[in-house]
C-alpha cells in the first residue's frame, strides 16, 4: 500500500501541473481556431513536456539524437512503461508530432475536442474492423507531413519489461509511407509507477535508434519483429549499464 501514497511531487502535479494544463487547454481552443493544422498546438505541448520535466526535477538523458532528421516525418514507436512517457517524448523529440490515443481520452470534455482538432488520432480498442479503420486513419496524418507516435504494446508495462508488439502500428507505417523511428524509454516505470499516485525522483534515458526504411522489409511482420528487437536490445543494454554503474 505504501506505493499508492502521495509525495511532494504528487502535490506539484495536482496543484501546479493540472492548473497549467487546464488553462493551456482553454488557450489551445483559441489557438486551434486560428491554426487548424495543429502545428501551433504542437509547440504548446512541446513546451508542456519540457516544463513537466523541470517541475518534477527529472533529468532526461537523450542518446542518439543524431539518428533522425527534424525536417523528416516518421512513425515513432516506443515502449510504454510510465505516465511520463508522453510529455517526455513531446518535450525532447524535435518533430512536428501527433499521438495516437485510446478513444476514451477523446471523450474528455474540452481536452478531447482540442487534441482531436490538433490532429491527434483516437482509436478503438480491440481487433475488430472499427479498431483497424480508426488506426489506419493515422496514415493520413503521416501523409500530411507530420510525425505520429504509437505505443505498439497497446498498454503500459508494470515492470518496464517489453510487452509483445501489435501489428497495427506497422500497418500504419506501410500505408502512410513514412520510415519508422524506434525509441526506447528507460526508467519511466520507476518515476510514475502504474496504479500509483506517487511521482518518484530519478533519471529517464531515451535512446533513439536509426530509422527503419520500409523498402528494406518484405512484410509487416518482419518490420514489427525488427522494431521490437531493436527496442528490447536497447532496454537490455542500457539497463545493464545502469546496473553496472550502481555496483561500481
Least confident of 5-14, 124-133, 140-149, 236-245: 236-245
Q: Who has greater pLDDT, 239 or 184?
A: 184
Domain ranges of the chain: 2-247
Burial class (CB in 10 A: 0-12, 13-18, 19+), 78: buried
Longest dimension (CA), the chain: 55
Q: What is the pLDDT of residues 201-220, one digit of tens each?
A: 999 999 999 999 999 999 99
From 3.40.1130, 1.10.3470, 3.40.50, 2.60.40, which CATH number describes the 2-247 domain?
Answer: 3.40.1130
Report the candidate in 210, 207, 194 with the shortest Cα–Cα distance to residue 242.
207
Give the neighbor-by-neighbor strand order of the sheet with 121-123: 60-63, 204-208, 180-186, 75-78, 147-150, 97-102, 121-123
Give CA–CA dist 216/32, Å, rounded: 38
Give CA–CA dist 182/16, Å, rounded: 32
State the DSSP H helix or E strand holding residue 182, giving kind and residue range, or none if neither: strand 180-186
> pTM of this prediction?
0.92
Give CA–CA dist 228/11, Å, rounded: 36
Report the candidate in 190, 209, 193 with the shortest Cα–Cα distance to residue 201.
190
Q: What is the mean pLDDT of residues 166-190?
A: 93
Amino acid at each position: 500500500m505504501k506505493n499508492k501514497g502521495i509525495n511532494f511531487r504528487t502535490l506539484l502535479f495536482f496543484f501546479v501541473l493540472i492548473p497549467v494544463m487546464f488553462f493551456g487547454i482553454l488557450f489551445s481552443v483559441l489557438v486551434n481556431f486560428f491554426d487548424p493544422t495543429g502545428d501551433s498546438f504542437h509547440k504548446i505541448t512541446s513546451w508542456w513536456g519540457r516544463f513537466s520535466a523541470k517541475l518534477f526535477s527529472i533529468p532526461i538523458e537523450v542518446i542518439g539524437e543524431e539518428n533522425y532528421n527534424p525536417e523528416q516525418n516518421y512513425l515513432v514507436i516506443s515502449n510504454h512503461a510510465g505516465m511520463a512517457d508522453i510529455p517526455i517524448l513531446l518535450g525532447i523529440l524535435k518533430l512536428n508530432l501527433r499521438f495516437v490515443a485510446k478513444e476514451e481520452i477523446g471523450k474528455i470534455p474540452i481536452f478531447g475536442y482540442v487534441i482531436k482538432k490538433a490532429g491527434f488520432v483516437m482509436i478503438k480498442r480491440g481487433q475488430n474492423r472499427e479498431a483497424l479503420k480508426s488506426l489506419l486513419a493515422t496514415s493520413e496524418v503521416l501523409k500530411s507531413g507530420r510525425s505520429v507516435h504509437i505505443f505498439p504494446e497497446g498498454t503500459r508495462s508494470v515492470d518496464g519489461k517489453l510487452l509483445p508488439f501489435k501489428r497495427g502500428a506497422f500497418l500504419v507505417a506501410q500505408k502512410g509511407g513514412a520510415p519508422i523511428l524506434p525509441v526506447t524509454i528507460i526508467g519511466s516505470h520507476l518515476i510514475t509507477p502504474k496504479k500509483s499516485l506517487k511521482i518518484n525522483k530519478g533519471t529517464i534515458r531515451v535512446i533513439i535508434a536509426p530509422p527503419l526504411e520500409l523498402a528494406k522489409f518484405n512484410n509487416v511482420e518482419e518490420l514489427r519483429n525488427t522494431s521490437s528487437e531493436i527496442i528490447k536490445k536497447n532496454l537490455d543494454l542500457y539497463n545493464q549499464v545502469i546496473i553496472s554503474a550502481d555496483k561500481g
